[in-house]
Amino acid sequence: MKLTQELLQSYARLIVRSGANVRPGQVVQLTISVDLVPFAEMLAEECYRAGAKKVNVDWSCDALTRLHFQYAEEEVLGTVLEWEEAKARQMTADLPCRIFIASEDPDALAGIPPEKLSNVGRSRAKVLRPYRSAIDGKHQWVIAAYPSEKWAKKCFPALSAEDAVARLWDAVLRTVRIDGEHDPVAAWQAHTEFIGAKAAWLNAQAFRFLRYRSANGTDFTVELIPEARWEGAGAVNSVNGAFYIPNMPTEEIFTSPLAGSCEGTLVSTKPLSWNSQLIENFSITFEKGRAVSCKAEKGQTLLEQMIAMDECSCMLGEVALVPKESPVNRCGFLFYETLFDENACCHMALGSGFKEVLPGGDDLTVAQAKERGVNDSIIHVDFMVGSEDLAIDGVRADGSVVPVFRDGTWA
């Protein structure tokens, strides 16, 4: 499928209407690369057509971000300036619709010491997290992608820049269900309904544990939080009731497991790109809910650093189910972008969980959610465990066992 102005326009419309679901009178905060001014205009116009009060833009630039990390002191970069904090505070009043366009070069920060990246992230998060947490669940947001040349070349190094971009666009359009024939808004309606029905089934089963088995060595049991819900595809803004789709594409149904209660070994089935570096062919072994050992053919030190980022980064924050038929998986290549890669197959995340899966979760503080079992950490890193033969069983409180996945897909 070749990208045309028409398809691009329908993509912009899909992001604004089905994704963010911008409501009349809302402020929109758009984060997009300086390389994408025409697409930013297209999105802004769609937002205004949907009734947005004002569209504000945060421009990003890979090259400048890299220069900052190369030259500026860690302490300087880790400091949140007063005006930045005021901006974050303003968001808690405006509750803007946020639209993020991912187009980054996966290698933009290659060679920057991971400790510098994580220390900067950590000290900024200390100041900004309370603001982020104050708007959680109370605003609509969406992340969608726009293939840049560097990103496309990373995925398809053997192709010319032009062919690589065309190939990546083709994949992106497929995964967001744009085919130039059918109405993508209607396709997303059907897709979110299917995922919603699966999530409702999981919720009705009230599983206490999920058991994972695969011939690759995965042998793992995770405990779930009894009152936590499975969610997927869409979310509802608790302030105005607007339904929105935070990730485009999205194929997963997820929940937050009981932090500190899982046992066994998970074997990765796809490489993990973290801080612009790859961790490949790895496994993580858990005892009493904590990662106690890990083994990676490539990126061992990086994986160890990730697990040791803070006190709770060794515990799980997410369990997600994705069947192997996912269009992302069918694309058959690594996107080097979590938005896509995490929608390829079943995965887990180390680090922070989602308080919104708890009843009334949006109004809980991070500490309250943690008391009820939702992990809290400065990281949230997804890693893939879905395989062709993955079997998952659900175990209810009375000990009865129900097949959930067989051969990598819904049983």
Q: Give contact residues for Zn ion (rule: CB under 5 A).
A: 252, 320, 342
Report which residue's Cβ sits closest to Zn ion.
320
- CB 382, min distance to Zn ion, A: 5
Distance CA 150, CA 318 (A): 30
Q: What is the closest distance, in whole angstroms, from the C-beta atom of residue 269 to Zn ion in the complex?
A: 15
Beta bridge pairs of residue 263: 221
Which CB, 130 or 246, lies closer to Zn ion?
Answer: 246
Smallest distance, Zn ion to C-beta of residue 229, A: 15
**HSE-CB of 240 using CA atoms within 13 angstroms:** 17
Contacts of 162 (CB under 8 A, 6+ apart): none
354, 374 contact by CB (below 8 A)? yes
Helix (H) or strand (E) segment spanning residue 85: helix 82-94
Using CA atoms, how far apart are residues 357 and 361, in angstroms rounded to an integer?
6
DSSP 136-173: TTSS-EEEEE---HHHHHHH-TTS-HHHHHHHHHHHHH
Q: How far is the CB of 250 from Zn ion (least distance, A)?
A: 9
Distance of CA 190 to the CA centre of its chain: 21
Residue with smaller CB distance to Zn ion, 116 or 324: 324
Residue closer to Zn ion, measured from CB, 62 or 342:
342
CB of 380 to Zn ion, least distance (A): 9
Nearer to Zn ion, 43 or 248 (CB): 248
How far apart are alpha carbons 366 and 376 in whole angstroms? Answer: 7
Comparison of 97 and 320: residue with beta carbon closer to Zn ion: 320
Q: Between residues 26 and 256, which has the closer beta carbon with respect to Zn ion?
A: 256
Least Å distance between CB 247 and Zn ion?
8
